[in-house]
Amino acid sequence: MSELQLGLLGIGILVVVGVFAYNKLQEFRLKRQSQEAFGSRHEDVLLGGKAAARAADATRERIEPTLSQASDAAPAAGGALDASIDFIATLETQHAVAGEAISTAIVDSAERPGKAVGWEGYNSQSAHWEPLDAAGEYQMLRAGLQLADRKGAASEQDLSDFSAMVQALASAIGASCSLGETASALQRAQKLDALCADVDVQIGLNLVARGGAFAGTKIRAFAEAHGFALERDGRFCRRDEAGLELYSLCNTEAPAFSSEGMKTLASRGLTLLFDVARAPDGIASFDRFVEFARALAETLSAAIADDNRRPLDDAALGKIREQLQALYASMEQQGIPAGSPLALRLFS
């Protein structure tokens, strides 16, 4: 290799080393400037210290609304809501919230499910759930969407709207929220709807005049003597001691019964109605219903007939009774006996 070549090689090496050193120097300067501009002198929250403690305290002071699976931790004494017919959400706050504020938040909610929603607060003094009272204070609440009624089963949209409603309330009052599985609730809604379809029966016994029309004064006297009272809707109703309707009597023809109208009324047809699912005492109430129909028919010289005016004899009434026994047994098996609070809500 000539001297010229050796010289050029040496110069090339010096140039490469110089460029490398210059780049390293620039890298060091940029790193230092970056630390000065963006570096933090505060303690890292994740590494502990006073700042971490303050951050932890701040987190404990606020309860964010969360959605989780319902648990059995909440007390379940009393209350109208029932998991057998309601989709229940439980809300819990760290500090008591005024019932009035809760009621306002419910009213202000934009979501309105297509089924009835009930609200209850847990009274820590009585250790029972109670209807939400604007004058009370609550740390624990629960809301229940009724899964079925006489109009049908709750839909997936109903459950979605209900979930949005309780989540909005939880956010408004700073509460945690636990809610059951939607799929399971939809299955229960369908089963309840099937039960409603099977047992939602009204039995009507028609009393048809054999000769002259029935006098209103005679109808009223007989009805009141057997514990009926004339109500605002134009029916005579027989109720039990708790005020629950057992059966009712109405005019088959126009007009409806009225206090003044009974004085001049003349009717050729009456209808006795028995609401199977809502009347308490089951088959015993039906027996009293039939007994009253027979007594009234005898007093008015009327025939007992079905809706097609076909006579109903003892054999036909006996078959109806057998069918009702099966329906009542089905309701008992479902834990919803006729005339019970659950039945009154379900068949509404």
pLDDT tens column, 236-284: 999 999 999 999 999 999 899 999 999 999 999 999 999 999 999 999 9
pLDDT above 80 for 37: no
Q: Taking the model in full, what pTM does it have?
A: 0.72
For 236, the domain range is 200-346
pLDDT above 90 for 3: no
Of 289, 248, 288, 264, nearest to 214 (Cα)? 264
Q: Could you write out the DSSP letters of every residue in 55-109?
A: HHHHHHH-----EE---S-S---B-S--TTTEEEEEEEEEEEEEHHHHHHHHHH-
pLDDT above 70 for 222: yes
**Are the CB atoms for 285 and 274 separated by under 8 Å?**
yes
> pLDDT tens, 310-338?
999 999 999 999 999 999 999 999 899 99
- Average pLDDT (159-173) is 94
266 and 229 both lie in a single domain = yes
- Is residue 28 one of the residues assigned to a domain? no
pLDDT above 60 for 70: no
217 and 186 both lie in a single domain = no
189 and 245 both lie in a single domain = no
Quickly count: other Cβ atoms within 10 Å of residue 160's Cβ.
13
Q: Distance between CA 88 and CA 48 in Å, rounded?
A: 41
**Could you say which of 147, 176, 196 is where a domain stops?**
196
Per-residue confidence band for 7, with pLDDT thresholds at 50, 70 and 90 = low
pLDDT above 50 for 31: no
* pLDDT at 307 (0 to 100): 87
Per-residue confidence band for 209, with pLDDT thresholds at 50, 70 and 90 = very high
CA distances to 55, 81, 95, 166 from 101, rounded to whole Å, are 29, 22, 13, 14
The three-class DSSP label of residue 237 is strand
N- to C-terminal Cα separation, the chain = 109
116 and 187 both lie in a single domain = yes
- Average pLDDT (165-176) is 93
205 and 332 both lie in a single domain = yes
111 and 213 both lie in a single domain = no
Domains of the chain: total? 2
Per-residue confidence band for 18, with pLDDT thresholds at 50, 70 and 90 = low
> pLDDT tens, 83-126?
999 999 999 999 999 999 999 999 888 788 999 999 999 998 88
> 140: Cβ–Cβ under 8 A, 6 or more apart, which residues?
74, 75, 90, 91, 92, 93, 121, 122
109 and 219 both lie in a single domain = no
Per-residue confidence band for 36, with pLDDT thresholds at 50, 70 and 90 = very low
Q: What is the mean pLDDT of the chain?
A: 83
Of 156, 164, 157, 185, nearest to 83 (Cα)? 185
- Is residue 301 one of the residues assigned to a domain? yes
In percent, how much of the chain has pLDDT > 70?
78
pLDDT above 70 for 174: yes
Joined together, the tokens standing for residue 287 give 């027996």
> 288: Cβ–Cβ under 8 A, 6 or more apart, which residues?
246, 247
**Are the CB atoms for 293 and 305 separated by under 8 Å?**
no
Residue 89 vs residue 63, higher pLDDT: 89
In percent, how much of the chain has pLDDT > 90?
71
**Are the CB atoms for 285 and 279 separated by under 8 Å?**
yes
> pLDDT tens, 175-200?
999 998 999 999 999 999 998 998 99
- Is residue 9 one of the residues assigned to a domain? no
- Average pLDDT (64-74) is 39
